[in-house]
């Protein structure tokens, strides 16, 4: 999605379809071997809904992924919204693939993918902050008929908080191998991650290598820095038959289980599958290359009201000096207005840092992406503000699009008007974020303090 993975690749990375006229557009690279040309997508999709219809395989095998059809355990999938997951890689604004429930990609007629016990490796760059415990955010080898054909018929990386066996250590997410009818090894056999570091990584590398006969290994790392850690290296599952040797079928799946179980969510940025098991040196070189690509690098703009600018929003409420609009740091948390003392933790600073993105429902307005949760936006629900992942619905786009206005009542700041409720502005009330209408029916609509509470100073980002 984000960049060429061959030094001289100059072809398409992915294809989008514009809903209004069903026209297709390939999105390529800015230069041979370079980053995705997101500007081409932005121009083609300006004020239009686009979905990702094809992810090109850059290899000569041309094992492109298209939207997955029905399977043994899931109706045909839909395509992911093309604008859901803006990010900066190496200083270039690009888009990733944001998978919500019901979305997935597949190729059931591949060339050169491991079958019946052949060795293979694969990695993906994904997000530890966009996961759930539903089956199955997978990338890798799966069945040719989209059905569960039995143990060992899959060999895919899974990133999730699924804990079916109990006894899971921490709250996840975990990187495991989906070898069909189970994620392996049990989390108790993984190198432990007691402080749950994967869950706070916006960009992580997950790698699976399987000799197809007797053993497999998993590695994880931070896609922004450092090296990979081997979290498992051992035998194929032995408690049940069918895994040793493996029975891979050679389809490629992305975002669902082998039988198209599609309740999972996840984010995907890039991935590779190889014929044969990669060497340790190759794994390390891949991780070094991913780190050098610069996932989540600064956008290059900060503190200004402009697309891709990283900002914090300081409240002008009389109650709250040095207080900023943020999210509480977990998926269900309401937006809060928090005082930020100079000794604040890195996490607290991240929670009040946003990136201004093109409005999801109106390209002339804006959406506010949480800097440390790629693909999550400030959104309203029943007029209260939360952070949540773009699920590709028109409702979410409406809920998360705001038009900046000159602030009310002579204030010096900016007001943010909801496109969904044009009388409503983002307001600090009782240290929480609301959509408020002057003198409206809700407690947070009170006229007292309204002008101050609905005015914000666009300031330098407190994180980065």
List residues near ligand AHR by CB under 6 A.
73, 135-136, 138, 148, 154, 178, 180-182, 257-259, 261
d(CA 323, CA 326): 9
Residue 261 Cβ vs ligand AHR, minimum distance, rounded to whole Å: 5
Phi, psi of 454 (to 5 degrees): -100, 20
Catalytic residue among 143, 178, 259, 283: 259
Give the contacts of 408 (CB within 8 A, at least 6 positions apart): 415, 425, 438, 450, 451, 454, 455
Residue 256 Cβ vs ligand AHR, minimum distance, rounded to whole Å: 7
Helix (H, G, I), strand (E, B) or coil at 283: helix
Closest CB to ligand AHR among residues 100, 261: 261
Retrieve residue 329's tokens: 């740091």
Closest CB to ligand AHR among residues 86, 142: 142
Pair 248, 152: CB distance under 8 Å? yes
Tokens 């049940």, residue located: 240
Task: State yes or no: cis peptide before 250, omega within 30 of 0.
Answer: no
Retrieve residue 197's tokens: 């570091």
Closest CB to ligand AHR among residues 25, 247: 247
d(CA 155, CA 243): 10
d(CA 446, CA 448): 5
Residue 258 Cβ vs ligand AHR, minimum distance, rounded to whole Å: 3
Retrieve residue 146's tokens: 């989209």
Beta carbons within 10 angstroms of residue 257's beta carbon: 31
Closest CB to ligand AHR among residues 73, 141: 73
d(CA 338, CA 312): 11
Pair 392, 80: CB distance under 8 Å? yes
Pair 387, 327: CB distance under 8 Å? yes
Q: Is 180 designated active site?
A: yes
Closest CB to ligand AHR among residues 242, 404: 242
Residue 141 Cβ vs ligand AHR, minimum distance, rounded to whole Å: 11
Tokens 């207080």, residue located: 323
Helix (H, G, I), strand (E, B) or coil at 72: coil
Strand pairing partners for 252? 107, 141
Residue 396 Cβ vs ligand AHR, minimum distance, rounded to whole Å: 26
Residue nearest to ligand AHR (CB): 257
Closest CB to ligand AHR among residues 182, 374: 182
Retrieve residue 159's tokens: 């990133």
Closest CB to ligand AHR among residues 210, 437: 210
Residue 119 Cβ vs ligand AHR, minimum distance, rounded to whole Å: 20
Closest CB to ligand AHR among residues 70, 409: 70
Cα–Cα nearest to 349, from 366, 327, 331: 327
Cα–Cα nearest to 233, from 213, 245, 215, 214: 215
Residue 253 Cβ vs ligand AHR, minimum distance, rounded to whole Å: 8
Closest CB to ligand AHR among residues 261, 398: 261
Residue 183 Cβ vs ligand AHR, minimum distance, rounded to whole Å: 6
Pair 219, 229: CB distance under 8 Å? yes
Catalytic residue among 57, 118, 180, 420: 180
Pair 159, 298: CB distance under 8 Å? no
d(CA 430, CA 444): 8
Pair 314, 326: CB distance under 8 Å? no
Residue 149 Cβ vs ligand AHR, minimum distance, rounded to whole Å: 9
d(CA 83, CA 307): 13
Q: Which residues are catalytic?
A: 180, 259
């Amino acid at each position: 999605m984000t960049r060429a993975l061959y030094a001289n690749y100059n072809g398409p990375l992915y294809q989008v379809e514009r809903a209004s006229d069903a026209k297709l557009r390939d999105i390529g690279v800015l230069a041979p071997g370079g980053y995705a040309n997101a500007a081409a997508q932005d121009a083609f999709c300006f004020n239009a809904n686009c979905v990702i219809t094809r992810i090109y395989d850059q290899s000569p095998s041309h094992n492109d992924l298209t939207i997955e059809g029905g399977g043994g355990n899931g109706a045909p999938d839909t395509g992911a919204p093309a604008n859901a997951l803006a990010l900066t890689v190496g200083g270039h604004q690009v888009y990733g693939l944001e998978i919500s429930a019901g979305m997935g990609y597949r190729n059931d007629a591949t060339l050169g993918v491991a079958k019946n016990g052949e060795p293979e490796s694969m990695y993906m760059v994904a997000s530890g902050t966009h996961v759930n415990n539903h089956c199955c955010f997978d990338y890798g080898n799966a069945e040719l008929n989209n059905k569960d054909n039995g143990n060992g018929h899959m060999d895919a990386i899974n990133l999730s908080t699924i804990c079916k066996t109990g006894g899971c250590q921490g709250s996840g997410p975990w990187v495991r191998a989906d070898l069909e009818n189970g994620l392996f090894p049990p989390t108790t056999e993984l190198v432990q991650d007691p402080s749950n570091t994967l869950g706070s990584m916006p960009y992580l590398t997950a790698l699976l290598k399987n000799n197809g006969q007797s053993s497999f290994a998993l590695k994880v790392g931070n896609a922004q820095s450092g090296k990979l850690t081997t979290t498992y290296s051992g035998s194929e599952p032995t408690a049940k038959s069918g895994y040793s040797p493996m029975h891979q079928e050679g389809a490629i799946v992305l975002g669902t289980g082998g039988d198209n179980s599609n309740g999972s969510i996840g984010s995907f940025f890039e991935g590779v599958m190889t014929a044969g098991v990669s060497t340790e040196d190759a794994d390390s070189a891949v991780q070094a290359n991913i780190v050098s690509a610069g996932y989540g690098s600064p956008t290059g703009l900060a503190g200004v009201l402009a697309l891709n600018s990283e900002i914090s929003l300081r409240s002008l409420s009389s109650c709250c000096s040095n207080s900023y609009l943020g999210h509480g740091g977990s998926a269900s948390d309401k937006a809060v207005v928090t005082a930020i003392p100079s000794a604040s933790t890195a996490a607290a600073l991240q929670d009040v840092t946003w990136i201004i993105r093109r409005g999801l429902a109106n390209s002339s307005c804006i959406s506010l992406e949480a800097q440390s949760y790629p693909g999550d936006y400030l959104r309203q629900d029943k007029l209260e503000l939360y952070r949540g992942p773009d699920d590709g619905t028109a409702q979410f786009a409406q809920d998360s699009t705001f038009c900046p206005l000159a602030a009310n009542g002579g204030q010096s700041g900016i007001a943010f008007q909801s496109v969904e409720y044009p009388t409503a502005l983002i307001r600090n009330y009782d240290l929480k974020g609301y959509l408020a209408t002057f003198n409206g029916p809700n407690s947070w609509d009170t006229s007292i303090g309204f002008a101050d509470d609905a005015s914000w100073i666009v300031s330098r980002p407190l994180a980065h």
